[in-house]
Structure 1
């Protein structure tokens, strides 16, 4: 009798690599220094990792950078979304980070 493995059991949480997280944190730090963002959260789930960005600590995230990978042999996909829609999809995290420059910025006065 052959034993069929359950693909959901063999899947593990997905994490950002050190270099991916370094790029994300560099962009995040610049916006914190500008007073636009205040807090972040990291979540590692089966098949995805998320970096959530908050304007205020006790709110829903303003943006989420999500890394998704269905199979370990596939390239991961990075998705930037706000609380309503997908803003950008790319195979490299730097492309998603560069999309922040196209978004409206908070003007302090």
Structure 2
């Protein structure tokens, strides 16, 4: 008699989505510029089953200002990378990470009075 578990016995890190170092490079470069400008102060990275998330915070105890998400299952549809605002609205989506991150670069450019 065989007893089957309702959950898979192997749930290792290999079945989670994560950012590759070539993806983290541009994200951390943008993060560094925003920290230097005083806009951002903290970040968090999550590796989940369906997606990887880089969350950006103004203060540690707050909800994230922005989430940079990687969803490989969407790469043939809308694009695997997206930037999501605090309210849950998708600001930019696509397969080119640098192009998707440009929506946040524009937030750094301000008019001078």
Shorter-chain-normalised TM-score: which range? 0.7 to 0.9
Give TM-score scaled by structure 1 length. Answer: 0.78
Tell me how far apart the structure 1 counterparts of residues 33 and 92 of structure 2 sit (CA, whole Å). 20
Instruction: For structure 2, list consecutive stretches of 5 or more residues without a partner in the other structure.
Output: 1-7
The structure with the larger Rg is 2
Query: By how many angstroms is 1:105 displaced?
Result: 6.1
Equivalenced residues, count:
99
Query: By how many angstroms is 1:101 displaced?
Result: 2.7
* Aligned-residue RMSD, C-alpha: 2.9
Q: Aligned in 2, Cα 1:58/1:69: closer, same or farther, shift over 3 Å?
A: same
The 8 Å contact of residues 30 and 105 in structure 2, kept in 1 or not, is answered as no
* 1:98 and 2:102 are equivalent in the alignment: yes
Query: By how many angstroms is 1:21 displaced?
Result: 0.3
* 1:86 and 2:90 are equivalent in the alignment: yes
Residue 41 of structure 1 is matched in structure 2 by 44
Instruction: Write out aligned runs for 1:1-109 (5 A).
Output: 12-70=15-73, 77-84=80-87, 85-103=89-107
The 8 Å contact of residues 34 and 108 in structure 2, kept in 1 or not, is answered as no
Superposition misfits of 4+ residues, deviation over 4 angstroms: 8-11, 73-76, 104-107
